[in-house]
Amino acid sequence: MKDLIVGIVALAIGVAAGYMINDKGTQVASLEEENAGLKSQLATSSSAPAAKTGGQTIANVKKKGFVQCGVSQGVPGFSNPDASDNWTGIDVDVCRAVAAAVLGDSTKVKFSPLTAKERFTALQSGEIDILSRNTTWTATRDSALGVNFAGVNYYDGQGFMVRKSLGVKGAMDLAGAAVCTNLGTTTELNVADFFRANNMEYKLVAFEKADEVVAAYDAGRCDVYTTDQSALAAQRIKLSSPDDHMVLPEVISKEPLGPVVRHGDDQWLDVVKWSLYAMLNAEEMGITKTNIGTMMNSDNPSILRFVGKEGDVGKNLGLSADWSANIIKQVGNYGESFERNVGPNTAIKLTRGVNANWKDGGLMYGMPGR
Amino acid sequence: MAEEVIQSQKPSKPLVWNDPTYRALFFQVLVLGGVVSLGYVLISNTLTNLERQGIASGFGFLKGTAGFSILMTLIDYSEEDSYFWAFIVSLLNTLLVAGIGIFFATILGFFIGVCRLSSNWMLSKIAAVYIETLRNIPLLLQIFFWYFGVLRGLPSPGNSINVFDTYFLNIRGLYSPSPIFEDGFSLILWALITGFVATFFISRWARKRQQETGQQFPTFLSSISLVIGLPLIASVVAGFPLSWEYPVLRGFNFTGGFVVIPELVALSLALSLYTASFIAEIVRAGILAISRGQTEASYALGLQAWPTLRLVVIPQALRVIIPPLTNQYLNLTKNSSLAAAIAYPDLVLVFAGTILMQTGQAVEIIAITMGVYLAISLMISAFMNWYNKKMALVES
Ligand SMILES: N[C@@H](CCC(=O)N[C@@H](CS)C(=O)NCC(=O)O)C(=O)O
């Protein structure tokens, strides 16, 4: 009994003390109301301590001298390490572009390989500056996770891969199949929607890491491997005999993949967004890694603005005047990055399709750089 | 006069702030208050920061629709159910694999621990090799070994290993018929319960009689015939009110029946084999802690080796064994969270994995997950403490 009283008294003191420390000034009528309104109360309470993220990231990056970039654990063509831990891929190039823009050196990037499950927590907690890891832009992620999407660097859709020997013609033949995929992805939800909408049975085997998905599918645990079509193309080359497998024609979802930053730091969001646009606009204007030197002496005003000879865009972004010239010099434009990493001459063999520049009928459209 | 002196020498009641009881109380309240206010500051600070960064918070998310499927469910579950229900499903899966693991690890561990002490050179060396290998290889590697080992060894559904068209074994799992209960099945259940109750009383009576008269009663045989015989008679009377649903190959996979998925097999196997190696050492230590004189005395009384172990050594050794054994049970339960690596849908994979990702509410979900593991651990500890007390030597 005595213990109980001690407990209750201590609790009361604790809550009161905590309240006073935390809430100097804001009054609350009753405890219940406090509970219900705690969140909104504290949001307006001026004295509540909180991590300040606005405008901090760029200063931080400049101070530490590199960009911390969250990538996959290895999806060839998108973000993949080689034997000596050099990362390449179109997702990696986004981080390199940002490093070139902010620090003038595209090699000043450190990579954090993340599973699908870990990625947003790593970004929220400030462990990484950019998440550039085949991440789909969705309403829930944009609104509930405290992150902002800075654009799209690959328009994708979810597909299915099966063994040719199964004799499956299309996704509608998959009733009763066992399906392997990664957990914590949009994939996991889309596949549930697809089978439910078509009234088909299925068994979902969801792994944390992509390598285990590939190994289990390869061993025959599943009839189907499902993920973004681009990743299917990339992961397929890891199978023991890639030619025994085929990707079904159906695309069951929209998967716009792009770089993500923390919510609340608008300046950093702008920097990442415009670094991506710079790559798109350069392709549109025909500015490449090889001709950027001669472009410096162009008499076209939009090119002069792009290379920083005219206008104040760099200054307004908090960057040097030659920020976008540095991106192209060191990383290349979007088309170059695409060809180098995932294009027809690589093992991934993706065609531009909807990812062509808008002038060629695709969706890649950079906002005007004036 | 004398009385008066004594009275005045009696210490007067101390002032409240000098009274040790009150002083202790005061400081306890202070410390506890400090801890609680620290907790309060941390929690409200977190809430503020989450709010400021635009991250959703609160426990309302548990009511949301799950929308994803779960590979193995012990209770009914579909995509339309809530996150909370998915949480319960995954919690049951965790409890299942922990239960299976503890059961087999204990049996195997005791067996190997006894073998380790055997006078048979071969047996004791095999046990030693087992212990040294398994407890020195990281558990995650063992899980992968069994998982991909199991997968690699099994045929595709089309080429299943077929036992009498009722059991099928393939890479998707072990399929067996599942029972369908019809009217009158409750009679069999009651017969079974009666069998167990009768067995309980018979063995009590037999023990008492043996203690008093020294006469032994075939308890084992009588129990077996009661527990199996009674339900058998009941089912004949009720006209076999049970039918089976057989698994059939339809399209890619078997449907119907009951399936044990390879993920469960691999995880249970790895957890029990790994933990058994530690339990074996604990058992060995426990037995060695019982002085040799006990065994000799027992032999001198004419008891054979097995009754000596069962009646004299193990009951005493248990007192040494139970506390570290409890630790192993706790380890096994916590290690079961490695399930996510091989897609066994446990609490960590489903709740702290998929649901965390879909809702983004890391703080709440990790707090609940830690709370659940803590609760399971405390429950195991409480049970083992109770058992330990029961096993303690009563010295009278
Ligand atoms: N775009 C989807 C799926 C992204 C995803 O994680 N895909 C897996 C399957 S290929 C992956 O990239 N895994 C690589 C890894 O875990 O390293 C999403 O954002 O949820």
Q: Of all protein residues, whose CA lies closest to atom 17 belonging to ligand 1?
A: A73
Interface probe with A: pick from B357, B358, B363, most Cβ of A within 10 Å: B357
Distance A16 CA to ligand 1 centre (A): 46
Q: Which residues of chain A does B58 touch, with a Cβ-Cβ cutoff of 8 Å?
A: 39
Distance A54 CA to ligand 1 centre (A): 29
Interface probe with A: pick from B35, B48, B77, B154, most Cβ of A within 10 Å: B48
pLDDT tens readout for residues B373-394:
999 999 999 998 888 888 776 6
Interface probe with B: pick from A19, A28, A145, most Cβ of B within 10 Å: A145
pLDDT tens readout for residues A217-269:
999 999 999 999 999 988 998 899 999 999 999 999 999 999 999 998 999 99
Q: Of all protein residues, whose CA lies closest to atom 13 belonging to ligand 1?
A: A210
Q: What is the ipTM of this complex?
A: 0.77
* pLDDT of B50: 78
* pLDDT of A30: 39
- C-alpha B11/C-alpha B301 separation (Å) is 64
Does residue B140 carry a pLDDT above 70? yes
The answer to whether the Cβ–Cβ distance between A43 and B51 falls below 8 Å is yes
Interface probe with A: pick from B23, B68, B255, most Cβ of A within 10 Å: B68
The answer to whether the Cβ–Cβ distance between B41 and A21 falls below 8 Å is yes
- Mean pLDDT over all residues of chain A? 86
> Which CATH class for the B83-122+266-391 domain?
mainly alpha
Q: Do A2-34+158-253 and A48-155+257-360 show the same overall fold? A: yes
**For A18, which of B41, B151, B253 is closest by C-beta distance?**
B41
| CATH homologous superfamily, domain A2-34+158-253 | Periplasmic binding protein-like II (3.40.190.10)
Q: Let me know: does A159 contact A247? Beta carbons within 8 Å.
A: yes
Nearest residue in chain A measured CA to CA from B34: A14
Rounded to a whole number of angstroms, the distance from the CA of B282 to the nearest CA of chain A is 34
Helix (H) or strand (E) holding A181: strand A177-182
- C-alpha B57/C-alpha B367 separation (Å) is 12
Rounded to a whole number of angstroms, the distance from the CA of A192 to the nearest CA of chain B is 6
Q: Let me know: does A343 contact A336? Beta carbons within 8 Å.
A: no
Confidence of residue B5 (pLDDT cuts 50, 70, 90): low
Distance A117 CA to ligand 1 centre (A): 9
Q: Chains A, B: CB contacts under 8 A, how many? A: 199
Sign of the CA dihedral A121, A126, A131, A136? positive
**For A18, which of B44, B47, B152 is closest by C-beta distance?**
B44
The answer to whether the Cβ–Cβ distance between B28 and A177 falls below 8 Å is no
Listed range (B7-11, B226-230, B288-292) with the worst mean pLDDT: B7-11
CA A264, A266, A268, A269: dihedral to nearest 10 degrees?
100
Q: Quote the percentage of chain B above a pLDDT of 90.
A: 36
* pLDDT of B244: 78
- C-alpha B252/C-alpha B150 separation (Å) is 20
Q: Which residues of chain A does B29 touch, with a Cβ-Cβ cutoff of 8 Å?
A: 6, 9-10, 13
Distance B57 CA to ligand 1 centre (A): 25
pLDDT tens readout for residues B242-297:
777 888 877 788 887 788 899 999 999 999 999 999 999 999 999 898 888 888 99
* pLDDT of A23: 47
* pLDDT of A6: 58
Architecture of the A48-155+257-360 domain:
3-Layer(aba) Sandwich (3.40)
Q: Which residues contact B173 (CB under 8 A, 6 or more apart)?
A: B259, B260, B261, B262
- Domain range list for chain B: 83-122+266-391, 180-245
**For B152, which of A48, A53, A219 is closest by C-beta distance?**
A219
Q: Is B28 exposed, middle or buried (0-12, 13-18, 19+ CB in 10 A)?
A: middle
- C-alpha A116/C-alpha A182 separation (Å) is 7
Indicate which atom in ligand 1 lies nearest the CA of residue A235. 10
Nearest residue in chain B measured CA to CA from A216: B148
Rounded to a whole number of angstroms, the distance from the CA of B213 to the nearest CA of chain A is 51
Question: Which residue type occupies A315?
Answer: K
Q: Assess B46–A contact: CB distance below 8 Å, yes or no.
A: no
Does residue B306 carry a pLDDT above 50? yes
Report residue A241 as tokens: 């005999």
Q: Report which of residues B40 and A2 the model is more confident about.
A: B40
pTM of the predicted structure, to 2 decimals: 0.79
Distance A101 CA to ligand 1 centre (A): 27
Q: Is A112 exposed, middle or buried (0-12, 13-18, 19+ CB in 10 A)?
A: middle
Confidence of residue B177 (pLDDT cuts 50, 70, 90): confident
The answer to whether the Cβ–Cβ distance between A39 and B156 falls below 8 Å is no
Nearest to A202 by CA among A188, A185, A184, A212: A188
Does residue B25 carry a pLDDT above 60? yes
* DSSP strand pairing (A224-228 vs A177-182): parallel
The answer to whether the Cβ–Cβ distance between B360 and A10 falls below 8 Å is no
Looking at chain B from residue 325 to 364, which residues have their Cβ under 8 Å from any Cβ of chain A?
340-343, 345, 349, 353-354, 356-360, 362
Look up residue B308 and give its DSSP letter.
I
Q: Of all protein residues, whose CA lies closest to atom 3 belonging to ligand 1?
A: A185
Long-range contact set of residues B193-197: C-beta below 8 Å, sequence gap at least 24: B194/B230, B195/B226, B195/B227, B195/B228, B195/B229, B195/B230, B195/B231, B196/B227
Q: Let me know: does B384 contact B325? Beta carbons within 8 Å.
A: yes
Q: Which residues of chain B does A115 touch, with a Cβ-Cβ cutoff of 8 Å?
A: none
| Cross-strand pairs, B170 | B173
Sequence-ordered strand ranges (E) for A196-322: 202-207, 224-228, 245-247, 255-257, 260-262
* pLDDT of A351: 93
Rounded to a whole number of angstroms, the distance from the CA of B208 to the nearest CA of chain A is 44
Distance B347 CA to ligand 1 centre (A): 21
pLDDT tens readout for residues A66-123:
999 999 999 999 999 998 889 999 999 999 999 999 999 999 999 999 988 889 989 9
pLDDT tens readout for residues A145-158:
889 999 999 999 99
pLDDT tens readout for residues A3-55:
656 566 666 665 565 555 554 433 333 333 334 433 333 333 333 333 444 57
**For A203, which of B48, B71, B341 is closest by C-beta distance?**
B71
pLDDT tens readout for residues B187-223:
888 888 888 898 888 888 888 888 888 777 777 888 8
* pLDDT of A52: 42
* Region B61-78 average pLDDT: 90
pLDDT tens readout for residues B324-364:
999 999 999 999 999 988 999 999 999 998 998 888 888 88
Residues with CB under 6 A from ligand 1: A 72-75, 115-116, 134-136, 182, 185-187, 209-210, 227-228, 231, 235, 255, 257
Rounded to a whole number of angstroms, the distance from the CA of B135 to the nearest CA of chain A is 24
* pLDDT of A297: 87
Q: Let me know: does A203 contact B253? Beta carbons within 8 Å.
A: yes
